Amino acid sequence: MRVLISQADLSSLEAQLEVTLWGMTDCLFCAIVAGTIPAEIVAEDERTITFMDINPATRGHALVIPRAHSTDLYDIPAVDLAACISAAQQTALIARERLGADGINLLNSCQPAAWQTVFHFHIHVIPRYEGDPLQLPWQPAPGDPRQIAGTAELLRSSSAR
């Protein structure tokens, strides 16, 4: 027997069937929130969890995530985003104090074009040390002032959402 199903119904079914060996959605970070897979948690509150990155760029590289699943920066509610930023700041201050970090990079990747690989919003808190091997992924150079002004106009013309 063959059953025809609409794309909308298929999407709904896929969302309902997102079950893996962790017994929940296939989101790795949701599994960490649920405690079904291990993580080196360094801080948590009612809205966020901060844990060590298992592929650290430098010593002390941590990730801050909201407890509630949000796919990316476009999706996260403002209250959870604010909580994540606050937790990232606290993690940065502790890295400076306890690890002797000379600086901190905060990094969020939103969508594959921006290198997002785990689709649960997260902020990388990357302690920086004088002489570490990390480099900017672009070469800063002056832009075309007219293009910059035109782009600014597009960005200020309306608000999103």
Would you name the residues annotated as active-site residues?
122
The residues, any chain, with a CB within 8 Å of residue 121's CB and separated by 6 or more, are 65, 66, 70, 71, 72, 73, 75, 76, 80, 81, 84, 108
Give the count of beta carbons closer than 10 Å to the beta carbon of residue 110: 15
Take residue 95 and report the two structure tokens written for it: 């890295």
